[in-house]
Chain A
Amino acid sequence: MKDLLRIKSLISSDIEILLNQQVKKEAQSSSIYLAMASWCNRNGYDFSSEYFFKQAEEERHHQLKFYKYILDMGGNAVSPEVTGIKQEYNSFREVFEDALDQEISVTNSIKNIYAKCLKEQDFVTMEFLNWFLKEQREEEYKARRALELFEVIGEEGTGRWQIDKHVGQIKYDSEA
Protein backbone atom coordinates (compact mmCIF):
# COMPACT_ATOMS: atom_id res chain seq x y z
CA MET A 1 0.00 0.00 0.00
CA LYS A 2 1.42 3.36 -1.05
CA ASP A 3 2.07 6.01 1.57
CA LEU A 4 -0.44 8.46 0.06
CA LEU A 5 -0.31 10.90 2.97
CA ARG A 6 3.45 11.30 2.47
CA ILE A 7 3.05 11.64 -1.30
CA LYS A 8 0.68 14.55 -0.79
CA SER A 9 2.54 16.38 1.94
CA LEU A 10 6.08 16.56 3.27
CA ILE A 11 4.95 17.66 6.72
CA SER A 12 2.86 15.55 9.09
CA SER A 13 -0.61 16.73 10.10
CA ASP A 14 0.67 17.46 13.64
CA ILE A 15 3.42 19.74 12.31
CA GLU A 16 0.93 21.34 9.94
CA ILE A 17 -1.36 22.20 12.87
CA LEU A 18 1.57 23.68 14.83
CA LEU A 19 2.75 25.74 11.84
CA ASN A 20 -0.76 27.06 11.30
CA GLN A 21 -0.90 28.03 14.98
CA GLN A 22 2.37 29.88 14.44
CA VAL A 23 0.87 31.69 11.43
CA LYS A 24 -1.86 32.90 13.75
CA LYS A 25 0.63 33.88 16.43
CA GLU A 26 2.67 35.95 13.98
CA ALA A 27 -0.52 37.61 12.70
CA GLN A 28 -1.49 38.43 16.29
CA SER A 29 2.00 39.83 16.94
CA SER A 30 1.72 42.03 13.88
CA SER A 31 -1.66 43.37 15.04
CA ILE A 32 -0.39 43.94 18.57
CA TYR A 33 2.55 45.96 17.23
CA LEU A 34 0.17 48.00 15.08
CA ALA A 35 -1.92 48.80 18.16
CA MET A 36 1.29 49.78 20.00
CA ALA A 37 2.32 52.03 17.07
CA SER A 38 -1.08 53.73 17.26
CA TRP A 39 -0.89 54.23 21.04
CA CYS A 40 2.65 55.65 20.85
CA ASN A 41 1.69 57.97 18.01
CA ARG A 42 -1.38 59.25 19.88
CA ASN A 43 0.70 59.95 22.97
CA GLY A 44 3.49 61.82 21.21
CA TYR A 45 6.11 59.07 21.05
CA ASP A 46 6.73 59.30 17.32
CA PHE A 47 10.05 57.41 17.17
CA SER A 48 8.59 54.50 19.13
CA SER A 49 5.53 54.55 16.89
CA GLU A 50 7.78 54.24 13.84
CA TYR A 51 9.69 51.41 15.58
CA PHE A 52 6.45 49.49 16.18
CA PHE A 53 5.26 50.04 12.59
CA LYS A 54 8.50 48.39 11.44
CA GLN A 55 8.00 45.54 13.92
CA ALA A 56 4.44 45.01 12.64
CA GLU A 57 5.78 44.74 9.09
CA GLU A 58 8.41 42.23 10.19
CA GLU A 59 5.85 40.04 11.98
CA ARG A 60 3.66 40.09 8.87
CA HIS A 61 6.69 39.00 6.85
CA HIS A 62 7.26 36.11 9.30
CA GLN A 63 3.61 35.12 9.03
CA LEU A 64 3.84 34.91 5.24
CA LYS A 65 7.05 32.89 5.45
CA PHE A 66 5.28 30.24 7.55
CA TYR A 67 2.18 30.44 5.36
CA LYS A 68 4.08 29.86 2.13
CA TYR A 69 6.17 27.07 3.66
CA ILE A 70 3.02 25.14 4.63
CA LEU A 71 1.65 25.50 1.10
CA ASP A 72 4.96 24.63 -0.58
CA MET A 73 5.20 21.44 1.47
CA GLY A 74 1.72 20.34 0.36
CA GLY A 75 -0.15 21.35 3.49
CA ASN A 76 -3.23 23.46 4.01
CA ALA A 77 -2.40 26.98 5.15
CA VAL A 78 -5.26 28.58 7.06
CA SER A 79 -5.76 32.33 7.01
CA PRO A 80 -6.04 33.20 10.71
CA GLU A 81 -8.70 35.11 12.56
CA VAL A 82 -7.18 37.78 14.80
CA THR A 83 -9.34 39.20 17.58
CA GLY A 84 -9.06 40.75 21.03
CA ILE A 85 -6.08 42.99 20.39
CA LYS A 86 -5.26 45.25 23.34
CA GLN A 87 -5.61 48.87 22.16
CA GLU A 88 -4.91 50.89 25.30
CA TYR A 89 -1.90 50.95 27.59
CA ASN A 90 -1.51 52.45 31.04
CA SER A 91 1.99 53.76 30.48
CA PHE A 92 4.79 54.13 27.93
CA ARG A 93 6.78 51.51 29.81
CA GLU A 94 3.90 49.00 29.74
CA VAL A 95 3.99 49.04 25.92
CA PHE A 96 7.58 47.79 25.92
CA GLU A 97 6.96 45.30 28.70
CA ASP A 98 4.16 43.78 26.62
CA ALA A 99 6.38 43.79 23.52
CA LEU A 100 9.04 41.75 25.32
CA ASP A 101 6.41 39.32 26.66
CA GLN A 102 5.14 38.88 23.12
CA GLU A 103 8.60 38.11 21.75
CA ILE A 104 9.31 35.62 24.56
CA SER A 105 6.07 33.85 23.81
CA VAL A 106 6.95 33.67 20.08
CA THR A 107 10.39 32.22 20.89
CA ASN A 108 8.81 29.58 23.13
CA SER A 109 6.30 28.69 20.49
CA ILE A 110 9.02 28.21 17.83
CA LYS A 111 11.01 26.12 20.31
CA ASN A 112 7.95 23.88 20.79
CA ILE A 113 7.63 23.31 17.05
CA TYR A 114 11.36 22.58 16.87
CA ALA A 115 11.02 20.02 19.68
CA LYS A 116 8.15 18.32 17.85
CA CYS A 117 10.17 18.25 14.60
CA LEU A 118 13.07 16.69 16.46
CA LYS A 119 10.76 13.98 17.80
CA GLU A 120 9.39 13.28 14.34
CA GLN A 121 12.82 13.61 12.71
CA ASP A 122 11.41 16.28 10.40
CA PHE A 123 14.80 17.76 9.55
CA VAL A 124 13.42 19.77 6.64
CA THR A 125 11.16 21.85 8.89
CA MET A 126 13.92 22.11 11.49
CA GLU A 127 16.19 23.66 8.87
CA PHE A 128 13.37 26.04 7.92
CA LEU A 129 12.94 27.04 11.57
CA ASN A 130 16.64 27.83 12.02
CA TRP A 131 16.12 31.21 10.35
CA PHE A 132 13.36 32.05 12.86
CA LEU A 133 15.45 31.01 15.86
CA LYS A 134 18.18 33.40 14.75
CA GLU A 135 15.59 36.09 14.10
CA GLN A 136 14.25 35.70 17.65
CA ARG A 137 17.69 36.54 19.04
CA GLU A 138 17.38 39.93 17.38
CA GLU A 139 13.74 40.44 18.31
CA GLU A 140 14.28 39.63 21.98
CA TYR A 141 17.46 41.71 22.10
CA LYS A 142 15.67 44.77 20.73
CA ALA A 143 12.70 44.40 23.08
CA ARG A 144 15.00 43.89 26.08
CA ARG A 145 17.22 46.82 25.08
CA ALA A 146 14.17 49.12 24.85
CA LEU A 147 13.19 48.21 28.42
CA GLU A 148 16.78 48.72 29.52
CA LEU A 149 16.54 52.34 28.33
CA PHE A 150 13.89 52.95 30.99
CA GLU A 151 16.42 51.86 33.62
CA VAL A 152 19.46 53.75 32.34
CA ILE A 153 17.74 56.97 31.29
CA GLY A 154 14.90 57.02 33.83
CA GLU A 155 11.41 58.39 33.24
CA GLU A 156 11.76 61.60 35.27
CA GLY A 157 11.84 65.01 33.63
CA THR A 158 12.48 64.69 29.92
CA GLY A 159 13.35 61.01 30.41
CA ARG A 160 10.50 59.61 28.33
CA TRP A 161 11.33 62.00 25.49
CA GLN A 162 14.95 60.76 25.59
CA ILE A 163 13.85 57.12 25.70
CA ASP A 164 11.60 57.65 22.69
CA LYS A 165 14.46 59.21 20.76
CA HIS A 166 16.77 56.27 21.52
CA VAL A 167 14.20 53.55 20.78
CA GLY A 168 14.38 54.52 17.11
CA GLN A 169 18.12 53.87 17.11
CA ILE A 170 18.10 50.35 18.58
CA LYS A 171 19.94 47.98 16.30
CA TYR A 172 21.17 44.42 16.55
CA ASP A 173 24.17 43.78 14.33
CA SER A 174 25.91 40.93 16.11
CA GLU A 175 27.85 38.66 13.78
CA ALA A 176 27.79 35.81 16.29
Chain B
Amino acid sequence: MTTTNELSLWTDVFSTKTGAVYQCDTERCWYVDFAGKVARFDHRCLMKLRKAVYAIDIEQKLLNTTTDPDVEIIFICACDHCYVLSLAQIINLKELLEGSFVMLELNHIIHDRIYSNPL
Protein backbone atom coordinates (compact mmCIF):
# COMPACT_ATOMS: atom_id res chain seq x y z
CA MET B 1 0.00 0.00 0.00
CA THR B 2 1.16 3.53 -0.70
CA THR B 3 0.77 6.32 1.78
CA THR B 4 -0.48 9.81 0.94
CA ASN B 5 3.03 11.13 1.48
CA GLU B 6 4.45 8.77 -1.12
CA LEU B 7 1.61 9.53 -3.49
CA SER B 8 2.38 13.22 -3.34
CA LEU B 9 5.78 12.49 -4.94
CA TRP B 10 4.10 10.99 -7.93
CA THR B 11 3.46 13.10 -10.99
CA ASP B 12 0.52 12.36 -13.24
CA VAL B 13 1.75 11.33 -16.66
CA PHE B 14 -1.52 10.40 -18.31
CA SER B 15 -4.88 9.06 -17.26
CA THR B 16 -7.98 7.71 -18.91
CA LYS B 17 -11.34 6.59 -17.51
CA THR B 18 -9.92 3.12 -16.95
CA GLY B 19 -6.44 3.79 -15.59
CA ALA B 20 -3.53 6.10 -14.95
CA VAL B 21 0.25 6.26 -15.18
CA TYR B 22 2.32 8.17 -12.63
CA GLN B 23 6.01 8.95 -12.56
CA CYS B 24 8.09 8.87 -9.41
CA ASP B 25 11.22 10.99 -9.85
CA THR B 26 12.91 9.87 -6.64
CA GLU B 27 12.56 6.18 -7.46
CA ARG B 28 13.06 6.79 -11.18
CA CYS B 29 10.15 4.59 -12.08
CA TRP B 30 6.52 4.62 -13.15
CA TYR B 31 3.40 3.34 -11.45
CA VAL B 32 0.67 1.95 -13.67
CA ASP B 33 -2.78 1.97 -12.09
CA PHE B 34 -4.77 -0.44 -14.19
CA ALA B 35 -7.07 -3.46 -13.86
CA GLY B 36 -7.52 -3.02 -10.12
CA LYS B 37 -3.84 -2.80 -9.15
CA VAL B 38 -1.02 -0.33 -8.99
CA ALA B 39 2.14 -1.86 -10.42
CA ARG B 40 5.66 -0.44 -10.33
CA PHE B 41 7.67 -0.48 -13.56
CA ASP B 42 11.25 0.59 -14.04
CA HIS B 43 12.45 1.84 -17.44
CA ARG B 44 13.34 -1.61 -18.76
CA CYS B 45 10.05 -3.20 -17.70
CA LEU B 46 7.92 -0.31 -18.97
CA MET B 47 9.54 -0.68 -22.38
CA LYS B 48 8.85 -4.40 -22.31
CA LEU B 49 5.21 -3.77 -21.30
CA ARG B 50 4.82 -1.35 -24.18
CA LYS B 51 6.34 -3.81 -26.62
CA ALA B 52 4.12 -6.64 -25.36
CA VAL B 53 0.90 -4.60 -25.53
CA TYR B 54 1.66 -3.04 -28.92
CA ALA B 55 2.43 -6.48 -30.34
CA ILE B 56 -1.11 -7.73 -29.71
CA ASP B 57 -3.09 -7.80 -32.94
CA ILE B 58 -6.41 -6.41 -31.72
CA GLU B 59 -8.03 -6.45 -35.16
CA GLN B 60 -7.21 -10.10 -35.62
CA LYS B 61 -8.68 -10.88 -32.20
CA LEU B 62 -11.88 -8.99 -33.01
CA LEU B 63 -12.31 -10.91 -36.26
CA ASN B 64 -11.50 -14.24 -34.63
CA THR B 65 -14.71 -16.28 -34.50
CA THR B 66 -13.37 -19.32 -32.67
CA THR B 67 -14.67 -20.20 -29.24
CA ASP B 68 -11.35 -19.47 -27.49
CA PRO B 69 -11.71 -17.36 -24.35
CA ASP B 70 -11.31 -13.69 -25.17
CA VAL B 71 -8.41 -13.29 -22.75
CA GLU B 72 -4.79 -12.26 -23.18
CA ILE B 73 -2.06 -12.93 -20.63
CA ILE B 74 0.61 -10.26 -20.60
CA PHE B 75 3.65 -11.71 -18.90
CA ILE B 76 6.86 -9.77 -18.90
CA CYS B 77 10.12 -11.60 -18.38
CA ALA B 78 12.04 -10.55 -15.23
CA CYS B 79 9.17 -8.33 -14.11
CA ASP B 80 7.01 -8.88 -11.02
CA HIS B 81 3.71 -8.15 -12.70
CA CYS B 82 1.44 -10.08 -14.96
CA TYR B 83 -1.85 -8.98 -16.50
CA VAL B 84 -4.73 -11.21 -17.51
CA LEU B 85 -6.89 -8.95 -19.63
CA SER B 86 -10.02 -9.11 -21.73
CA LEU B 87 -10.01 -7.63 -25.22
CA ALA B 88 -11.72 -4.42 -24.04
CA GLN B 89 -9.10 -4.06 -21.30
CA ILE B 90 -6.27 -4.55 -23.80
CA ILE B 91 -7.68 -1.72 -25.91
CA ASN B 92 -7.89 0.44 -22.79
CA LEU B 93 -4.35 -0.42 -21.68
CA LYS B 94 -3.00 0.32 -25.16
CA GLU B 95 -4.75 3.69 -25.14
CA LEU B 96 -3.29 4.41 -21.70
CA LEU B 97 0.26 3.49 -22.72
CA GLU B 98 0.07 5.36 -26.02
CA GLY B 99 -1.08 8.50 -24.22
CA SER B 100 1.59 8.07 -21.56
CA PHE B 101 4.40 7.76 -24.07
CA VAL B 102 3.17 10.83 -25.94
CA MET B 103 3.31 12.73 -22.65
CA LEU B 104 6.79 11.39 -21.84
CA GLU B 105 7.91 12.41 -25.31
CA LEU B 106 6.39 15.86 -24.76
CA ASN B 107 8.24 16.09 -21.45
CA HIS B 108 11.44 15.20 -23.27
CA ILE B 109 10.85 17.94 -25.86
CA ILE B 110 10.16 20.47 -23.08
CA HIS B 111 13.37 19.50 -21.29
CA ASP B 112 15.27 19.64 -24.54
CA ARG B 113 13.97 23.02 -25.65
CA ILE B 114 13.48 24.94 -22.43
CA TYR B 115 15.79 23.60 -19.75
CA SER B 116 18.75 22.70 -21.94
CA ASN B 117 18.70 25.90 -24.00
CA PRO B 118 18.98 29.05 -21.89
CA LEU B 119 18.28 31.08 -25.04
Which residues does chain A contribute within 8 Å of B28, judged by CB atoms?
A: 2, 4, 7
Asked if residues B107 and A3 are in contact (CB atoms below 8 Å), the reply is yes
Q: A6-B108, A6-B111 are in contact. Are A1 and B25 (CB under 8 A)?
A: yes
Complex alpha-carbon distance, A128 and B107, angstroms: 26
Asked if residues A3 and B11 are in contact (CB atoms below 8 Å), the reply is no
Shortest distance from the beta carbon of B102 to any chain A beta carbon, whole Å: 12
Shortest distance from the beta carbon of A7 to any chain B beta carbon, whole Å: 7
A76 within 8 A of B: yes
For the residues of A in contact with B, the DSSP-based class is helix
State which residues 1-32 of A face B: CB under 8 Å.
1-9, 13
Asked if residues B25 and A5 are in contact (CB atoms below 8 Å), the reply is no
Which residues does chain B contribute within 8 Å of A5, judged by CB atoms?
A: 43, 104-105, 108
Which residues does chain A contribute within 8 Å of B30, judged by CB atoms?
A: 4
Which residues does chain B contribute within 8 Å of A9, judged by CB atoms?
A: 43
Complex alpha-carbon distance, A7 and B105, angstroms: 13
Q: Closest chain B residue to A74 by CB distance? A: B43
Bits for B10-30, please: 1 = Cβ < 8 Å to A, else 0. Answer: 010100000000010100111
Q: Closest chain A residue to B23 by CB distance? A: A1
Bits for B25-45, please: 1 = Cβ < 8 Å to A, else 0. Answer: 100111000000000000110
Q: Closest chain B residue to A76 by CB distance? A: B47
Asked if residues A8 and B43 are in contact (CB atoms below 8 Å), the reply is yes
Which residues does chain A contribute within 8 Å of B29, judged by CB atoms?
A: 4
Shortest distance from the beta carbon of B105 to any chain A beta carbon, whole Å: 8
Bits for B67-108, please: 1 = Cβ < 8 Å to A, else 0. Answer: 000000000000000000000000000000000000011011
Shortest distance from the beta carbon of B47 to any chain A beta carbon, whole Å: 7
Which residues does chain B contribute within 8 Å of A2, judged by CB atoms?
A: 23, 25, 28
Q: A1 touches which one: B11, B44, B105 (CB < 8 A)?
A: B11
Which residues does chain B contribute within 8 Å of A6, judged by CB atoms?
A: 108, 111-112
Asked if residues A3 and B111 are in contact (CB atoms below 8 Å), the reply is yes
Complex alpha-carbon distance, A53 and B13, angstroms: 52
Query: Using a CB–CB distance below 8 Å, which chain A residues touch chain B?
Result: 1-9, 13, 76
Q: Other CB < 8 Å A-B pairs besides A3-B112, A76-B47, 13 of them?
A: A1-B23, A1-B107, A2-B23, A2-B25, A3-B108, A4-B28, A4-B29, A4-B30, A4-B43, A5-B43, A6-B108, A7-B28, A76-B44
15 contacts between A and B (CB under 8 A): A1-B25, A1-B107, A2-B25, A2-B28, A3-B108, A3-B112, A4-B25, A4-B28, A4-B30, A4-B43, A5-B105, A5-B108, A6-B111, A9-B43, A76-B44
